[in-house]
Structure 1
Amino acid sequence: MPDTTFPVFTPFPQQRERLKLGLVGGGIGSFIGEIHATGARLSDRWELVAGAMSSDPERSLASGRAWRLAEDRIYTNHEAMAEAEAARPDGIDAVVIATPNHTHVPIARSFMRRGIHVICDKPLCNSLAEADGLADLQRQTGVIFAVSYCYASHAMARQIREMIAAGELGRICQVHVEYFQDWALALEEAGGSAKPWRLDPAHGGQSFTTADIGTHACHLASFATGLKLEALSASFHTVGSPKPMEDTAFIQLRFEGDVPGTLMTSQAAAGTHCDLRIRIFGEKALLEWRQEQPEILWFAKPGAPKIMLTRGDQGCGEAVHRLKRLRAGFPEGLNDAWSNLYTEIAVAIDARKRGEPDRPDLVAFPDLEDGLAGVRFVEAAVRSNAAGGEWTAV
């Protein structure tokens, strides 16, 4: 276990002024747009100043006004927004892409070409060819590209990462991760003709649940352990109402070093909400964490009682104390994780603006390489399932 002395840590650098943020998608009634904006505001490092919230002019204008944007910074398409904001002396520093998967690439390219940093929803896009194209463009432009795998920004997810890196578990022996929801259990009956775009392959790609929340689980497993996923064997199922794609997947994993694991995901698991859970077994001990109880991390050694670590404990590591916003006993949750994500992205962009070197020792937000890994994971799972569960390289 970590010692109980309060650690000495380096706080995040102060900014001279808030960075300027733009939003594409995420208009009125959008959960994802709201949570992005809330995280940015809670970080106190961003000001939302521009947006193209909808391709429908009237809806875009109404959404922009609801977000209290200036009339001349409410746009009806992303290309016009990218061009206008790049030309302004007070133009946006970064853009959030909160739109359906199939639009991520053209939107990202418009802003990247103009030197505007990108914060993109996951999954990054629908094909590896598109993802590789974005990676090529990032190398050319040098922009910062973040992907919103938000759960890795929970303070106790960082505690897992620190403890494993410090050897608290010894050699990693197995990794098990799962993510269960129930909102798609009776989707056709509840949604009728208004079923979500994720069920349309032209918009959401070849996978429904694996791409939507399975990518979160996959990212968390690699982020926490530091292990790269090398191969998988996938079995897709539709256990809820009839759908054109899977609502459930059971996937065997093989990480580097021949470490075995499992990933189970379902959006048709009755009685669940956002039940993301990870268990990592090492030769010395276990670590277990659930997103719905994000303040608590369980640590256990063979033959000994489980020990409960909570966010804010003095036994927690540097990364936890850097991210915590409240003292122990005052609960933090998902909005705080999003705020942590936006804080770290802001630190990286502000350093660029100052001409200072990057700080990988200080920030660990998911980047374009994490987005690429998610696309590789989905494509491998789709291929494996089509081949009857054949082991497939990622």
Structure 2
Amino acid sequence: MTASPPPADDLSPPPSCPDAAAPAPAQALQRLKVAPAEQPLSAAQKKFNRLLARVNSLERQLEQLQQSADALRAPHLQRMDALRQRMAQAQRAMAQLLHARLQRPGLTAAQQRAVRALLRDLVHAVPPSPQPEPEWAALRAAYPRPVPAAPSPEALQQLLDVLSAASGETLELSDLEDAGSPEALIEALAERLHAQDEARRAAAAERRARRKTTARQAEAQAQAQDARSALRGIYRQLASSLHPDREPDPAERERKHALMSQANTAHERGDLLALLRLQLAAEQVDEAAMARLGDARLQSLCLLLQRQVGTLDRELAEAEARLAHELGVQVRAADPRRLLEADLQALQDELQNLAEGMEHDVHALQDDDKALKAWLREQARLAREHERAAREMTGFGFQF
């Protein structure tokens, strides 16, 4: 009896078992794309090719970003840690110098106030040492941070007016008194608004559940079901071919176990491209097989790829944010590695310049009242410039 040909919308796996590693991503991409034949590509085929390329590009960006981070992280963090220690030592030396100078006459009352203000900032800016330091602890205690003044009733009412306008809830001073502080009131209000938002979402979901399914919703649900079936079908084909318990050869069983582990991970993540690459390795699909797929099957695969694009976009954004926080510079996966290296070097140079400047100041101010007074005037000028810049930025909507 002659075996019937495979259906046109299947990937038609041959019975052979895999004997090669998964192809390289770029090679796999070319082999999986639907190639033009006698007829022009359909809209579904073009979309499938575009999404394949997009998934491949995002995967490559994520991999390259991780490789760059792995190569640059350790030397950068080590250098920054050394520079921070150097900066802390310079700050300690400056604090001790200023404290010693306050014990001698010769400074005006305004200059003494300026020195004390600088000392309050310095002694609390230096990270605490893991070892006990009685002298430094005494210095910190001698220059405590000023306790913030309680806000005036007018300022509190202004805060309540802003929060009322933003939240749509009428707030009174009693609400603030019950909360204990402006910060606690803001936190409590945020929790209340979050609970209200969750309740609205739940009510909206319940209303949607009671509504009659529209033709478009039914079509979308059917497409989603087709996509899940397509992914499950590809995975089952791989599982049948790669199951290590059916392989008598120990070396081949170990190799299949590794590939099966990859298939399990890809199936859990909904990673269609990874499953298709494994199919290439298992010789379950070839270039011609993709062109044989019908548009309906391709639409299902496109839905899976669209979801994968969304997942990769989120993973890329999360990786960028995580590395930016870790390294201290803006991180963008689309930028070449040399730009990230340049930004890290600039950050190191900035901290080194600050440490060198502080060391220079400590050396220059030793037993030189004239230099100290000039330095105090320069610090006051810089503080005024910073305050003016902060006010200007606040005027543009930036908050500090």
| TM-score (norm: length of structure 1) | 0.22
More strand by share: 1
| TM-score (norm: length of structure 2) | 0.22
Tell me: higher relative CO, structure 1 or 2? Use CA pairs within 8 A at least 6 residues apart. 2
More helix by share: 2
